[in-house]
Structure 1
């Protein structure tokens, strides 16, 4: 999720569409998310929904508007400091998705297995008062082939941005939050990946001056709690 853009699977959430194809899967938490998004749209916030590969069935509605939410395959965003960014999900540049779709389904099944394991691991870590830890993130950084794939993917996406005459690209898809700069044919292109909200707990935001930042929610929560502790201590000392 970036600004007011919803990037596939409700911000790279994790395969809701594919799971719905196998069986009905719609927990109450999904209703809460949809309700909050539509509430913002009705209050005047521009919301653009860009379906990803897991919810590709919604791509047939590209160009339409539902409850104030625009459905697009891609969008262009002008930052406060004058940069023009192309915003898209990113599966269009995934060779596995394009050539070996069956392998993508296998990867999706393995990902959901790791999500389940990750849930129980972090439940134990919470009881031990330990911070949140991402199992899939650790695996991606440890497996050589995964690291090479991510690197090539980032380069291909950034090159596509340069070829389209924009300053950079914002995407998701591979669930790996990252910011990198690439140069292709003398043109510099900025690459932003917003990661995912469900397992990586990442979000990409733009500040009022155009500065962009990848947020990791557990770290944000820890910082807020620390500021509250410092404020409480200051009040206690003043009293």
Structure 2
């Protein structure tokens, strides 16, 4: 398998443990790249919606794959989000090549990049967490309904359809919220002199220069693996939004050993963390 070499890959809003998570597609993506650094920008595991009866094999394979990548020398930085906020009590912890932080600043080829999930700018979460969680349950139900709608469409040979995207794009309040979110974050990045600001949270992939009277910055949002199947990639001093549905390398699938492992073996594999191994030339 020929893998694309990257300096940095950024994914967010995977929501492992929910019906909306598309773990198989994400696993395919992770197997198609050879990255030096992988930034998990929040809401990777959905602790808000977690249920003991639902954590299928493809979701476990993602955890196993991340551990394998770290073992092979990939630096993995887990930035906490609101759906996995319980991990914030472990912020600053490093185990092997995996670290947990609440935010991150990197120097990339002479430019500064500011990474965070973005929920800190969500008023509904800051002032009424119960309301945000209620909205999360409603969103999850819509995704659940959409899952079976697309199952039928695929068997009829038709394109997938996103009910949640249709609802969000058709509600003026939602559009205004997204625009305000992007502006507030970009203005703050400009004020603090960051060349790039990289976030997630709103499930809206985007790459755009944002400008005000004080300067400009590049706003980057990694989107999600529930509706859009997107990531951010940095290579050759450039950022780009990756779209899984537009990838010409879609035939690549998960490693066969991961694909064929049963539930017991997967659980055993992710609970035994091996020390870092250097790649052989």
TM-score in same-fold range (> 0.5): yes
Q: How far apart are 1:99 and its partner, in Å?
A: 1.3
- Report the aligned-residue RMSD: 2.0
> Is residue 2:169 matched to residue 1:141?
yes
- CA pair 142-224 structure 1, distance change in 2 beyond 3 A: same
- Identify unmatched segments of 5+ residues in structure 1: 227-239
Find the aligned partners of 2:185 and 2:52 in 1 and give their Cα distance.
33
Residue 41 (structure 2) aligns with: 7
CA contact (8 A) 1:48 1:72 kept: yes
Q: Secondary structure at the match of 2:219?
A: strand
Say which of 55, 71, 82 aligns to 2:100.
71
Of residues 196, 209, 222, the one that matches 1:194 is: 222
| 2:49 matched residue in structure 1 | 19
2:105 match: secondary structure? strand
Native 8 Å contact 1:38 1:68 kept in 2:
no
Provide Cα deviations, 1:132-155, integer angstroms capped at 9, x if missing partner. Answer: 332212221111100000000000
Residue number in structure 1 paired with 2:90: 61
Q: Structure 2: how far apart are the matches of 1:39 and 1:224?
A: 22
Answering whether residue 246 of structure 2 is matched by residue 219 of structure 1, we say: yes
Which residue number corresponds to residue 106 of structure 1?
134
Q: Tell me if the contact between 1:177 and 1:195 (Cα under 8 Å) persists in the aligned partners.
A: yes
2:90 and 2:136 mapped to 1: Cα distance? 24
Contact 1:131-1:218 at 8 Å conserved across structures: no
The ranges of structure 1 where at least 4 consecutive aligned residues each deviate by more than 6 angstroms after the TM superposition are none
Task: Measure how far apart 1:67 and its partner are.
Answer: 4.2
Could you say what secondary structure the match of 2:68 adopts? helix
TM-score with structure 1 setting the length: 0.84
Deviation at 1:49, TM superposition (A): 0.2
Say whether 1:150 aligns with 2:178.
yes
Name 2:69's counterpart in structure 1: 40
The aligned residue for residue 232 of structure 1 is none
Q: Which has the higher contact order (CA 8 A, sep 6+)?
A: 2
1:203 Cα deviation (Å)? 1.1
Query: Following the alignment from structure 1 to structure 2, what is the Cα–Cα distance between the partners of residues 47 and 224?
Result: 24
Task: Give deviations 1:27-70, integer Å, cap 9, x for gaps.
Answer: 32222111111111111111100110000000110111134211
Q: Aligned partners of 1:9, 1:216: CA distance in 2, in Å?
A: 19
CA distance change for structure 1 residues 63 and 135 in 2, over 3 Å: closer, same or farther?
Answer: same
Secondary structure in structure 2 of the residue aligned to 1:4: strand
**Cα offset for 1:17?**
0.6
> What SS does the aligned partner of 1:89 have?
coil
| Higher relative helix content | 1
1:173 counterpart (201, 204, 213):
201
- Answer yes or no: is 1:93 the counterpart of 2:127: no
